[in-house]
Structure formats: C-alpha cells, structure tokens
C-alpha cells in the first residue's frame, strides 16, 4: 500500500500545480520514460539486480537527473525509503546544491537496514516518518529525530455498500503479516456461526502454508485466499466487509487502516503504525479466545461512522516543509 500512497501523494501535488518528476530506481521493468496522470516518470529499470544497483543506476541517475535539471530546474529532492534512494538523493543534492527531504516508509527504520549507517543525517533538510509508532522505532534504532506526517486519501464519494462479508484481511502473505493468527481466529468464529465468511487478499510465499492451514482445520467453506486483486476491487471488497482483521506485528503507517475507517469497516489490529494512535482501532491482545470474542461482538455492533483522513491535509504539511 505504500506505493499506492505515494502515487496518491504525487497526484495531489500535481493537481495543485506543483511540477513533479519521479525517478523510479527499480520498478517498473521498463526503460522508456512515460507519463502517469500528467506526471513524468523516468524509470531506471534496476530490477533489484546487484550489478545495476552498484554500477549502472548511479551513473544513469546522475546523467538523467542532470538532463532534467538543465531542462527544468528542480527546487527540492524528495526521497522515499531510507535506502539507496535517499543515499543517492543526498549525493545529487550536494552536487546541485538542493535541499533534500527523506521519507521513511516501512521497515527501513529497523536495525536490519544497512543504509542507515551510510546516510548522512545532517545532509537532510527534513526526515519524515508516517506515524508516532514509526517515529519511535527510528529513535530506538538510530536515535534519529523526525517529523511525523501521516498519509491520507483523496476525496471519496459517500457510498453505502451492503456488508456481505464478515472479516477481511489485506496484505502480503509473509510472516510479518501474521495470517496464521488470522486463520486461527476465523476458525473460532466459524465454529460459533455456520454462515461466517472471511477472505484474505494478497500474494506471497506463505500462500501454500496458509491454504494448508485452512484445509486442515476444515475452514474451506469459511476462509478464502483470493490472490492478487486490483486496487479498485480490493477497495470494493473492503467496503463490503464488516471488519478488517490486521494481525501484522509491524506497520509503519497502515494505509489499510484509514481506508477501512473511511469505508465504515471496523478495524481490529495490534497497536502498530497508525493503529498505535487511533482510538477507533480495536486492539488485538494476541490471545485467540479473547480476540475472537471481541470480534464476534463487533460483527454484531453498528457500523462505525465514516472517518476520512484527507490527502489534502498531508500535502499542506509537506508544502510547509518545502517552503520552510
């Protein structure tokens, strides 16, 4: 969801008449520049390959940035993820005498990120994290202070969607997302209600293991792994669910939290990302009996009021950073 958030952010900047050029280091897998909703995108096509990362990307980035800067001078460099994008962004900023703003976006705030030792914190005009939880993790890891600016959503039309599904999970099928616990809770809920329905939207290396867990516990009629769906279809499924169950053990922000709250879907999650500070998120305890009992009550409770966190407020904050 971080990628989706970035494009929403870039589109809002563009909508306000701010010229944005995106340099994409590794994705998409293409070499020709293109336009996305009027925003020029320059892909370097690194494909996460070692040789590209060490040799090709630095040379291409310096050349292409220089060409663009000569054609239409940049005023700022804004990098996303505290990795090679920020490392090379600082090098470009020093060469062209530009301010650089860096965004931490996920697990890049954790000690496993080798780039934290290579990034010159003093060279950053601003360092931004996405939530209080995210900020605190970076302080623990590297003693770096940061501003906290949450992402937001574009304006949404008020639409009442019939709640035809009980529980939904959305995210990559990886250990961090903790979907074995999701299925464990669904097993308890299915035993209480024969008509219980849940699904998990996402792909990842744990797909076969999770499918086996579903079949072993006789949940095939109750829990479905949908695989990958488009963003639009994912939002439709989220709107049709009574509750988002998100048992991940780490989130920097959790775009899915604010998407669910905007669609009048209850949220149950560990206190990670934005869930750390949102009173409207119901906290998971890690005890399946207690958590399934809480969720059973929420499935019978009135829908929450729609609560929209606007991307316009996010961009207002960033413009203050740019102009400061």
The pLDDT assigned to 62 comes to 96
Mean pLDDT of 92-96: 97
Query: What pLDDT sits at residue 184?
Result: 98
**pLDDT greater than 70 at residue 88:** yes
Give me the mean pLDDT over the 11-15 stretch.
Answer: 94
Predicted confidence at residue 259, as pLDDT, reads: 93
Cα 277 to Cα 187: distance, rounded to the nearest angstrom: 29
Q: Strands of 126-129's sheet, edge to edge?
A: 77-80, 100-103, 126-129, 147-148
Model confidence at 1: pLDDT above 60:
no
Please give the share of the chain, as a percent, with pLDDT higher than 70. Answer: 98
Res 50 pLDDT > 90 = no
Provide the whole-model pTM: 0.89
Angstrom distances, CA of residue 50 to CA of 89, 90, 114, 284: 19, 21, 15, 40
Mean pLDDT (whole number) for 276-303: 95
Cβ-Cβ contacts under 8 Å for 323 (sequence gap 6 or more): none
> Edge to edge, what strands does the sheet with 198-201 contain?
223-227, 198-201, 165-170, 241-246, 266-269, 281-283
pLDDT category of residue 6 using cuts at 50, 70 and 90: confident
**pLDDT digit string, tens, across residues 200-228:** 999 999 999 999 999 999 999 999 999 99
Higher pLDDT, 277 or 281: 281
Residue 2: the pLDDT is: 64
Q: Which residue has the higher pLDDT, 170 or 276?
A: 170
**Confidence grade of residue 235 (pLDDT, cut at 50, 70, 90):** very high
Residue 319's alpha-carbon distances to 102, 112, 169, 316, in angstroms, are 14, 31, 34, 5
- Residue 157's pLDDT is 62
Q: Mention every residue, 6+ apart, whose C-beta is less than 8 A from residue 130.
A: 103, 104, 105, 148, 149, 150, 151, 252, 253, 273, 274
Give 141-163 pLDDT, tens digit per residue: 999 999 999 999 887 666 678 99
């Amino acid at each position: 969801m971080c990628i989706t958030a970035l494009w929403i952010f870039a589109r809002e900047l563009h909508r306000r008449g701010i010229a944005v050029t995106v340099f994409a280091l590794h994705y998409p897998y293409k070499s020709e520049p293109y336009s996305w909703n009027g925003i020029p995108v320059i892909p370097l096509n690194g494909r996460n390959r070692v040789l590209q990362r060490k040799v090709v990307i630095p040379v291409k980035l310096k050349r292409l940035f220089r060409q663009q800067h000569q054609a239409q001078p940049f005023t700022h460099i804004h990098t996303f993820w505290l990795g090679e994008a920020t490392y090379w962004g600082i090098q470009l900023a020093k060469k062209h005498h530009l301010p650089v703003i860096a965004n931490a976006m996920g697990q890049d705030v954790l000690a496993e990120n080798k780039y934290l030792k290579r990034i010159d914190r003093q060279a950053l005009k601003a360092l931004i994290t996405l939530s209080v939880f995210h900020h605190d993790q970076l302080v623990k890891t590297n003693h770096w202070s940061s501003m906290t600016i949450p992402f937001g959503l574009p304006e949404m039309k008020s639409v009442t969607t019939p709640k035809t599904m009980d529980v939904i999970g959305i995210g990559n099928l990886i250990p961090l997302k903790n979907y074995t616990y999701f299925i464990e809770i669904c097993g308890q809920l299915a035993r209480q209600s024969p008509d219980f329905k849940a699904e998990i939207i996402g792909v990842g290396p744990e797909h076969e293991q999770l499918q086996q867990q579903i079949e072993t516990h006789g949940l095939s009629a109750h829990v479905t792994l949908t695989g990958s769906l488009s963003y639009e279809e994912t939002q439709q499924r989220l709107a049709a669910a009574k509750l988002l169950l998100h048992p991940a053990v780490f989130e920097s922000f959790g775009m899915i939290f604010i998407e669910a709250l905007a669609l009048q879907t209850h949220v149950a999650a560990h206190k990670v990302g934005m869930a750390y500070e949102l009173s409207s998120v119901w906290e998971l305890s890690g005890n399946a009996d207690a958590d399934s009992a809480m969720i059973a009550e929420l499935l019978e409770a009135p829908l929450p009021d729609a609560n929209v966190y606007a991307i316009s407020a996010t961009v207002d904050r960033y413009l203050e950073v740019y102009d400061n």
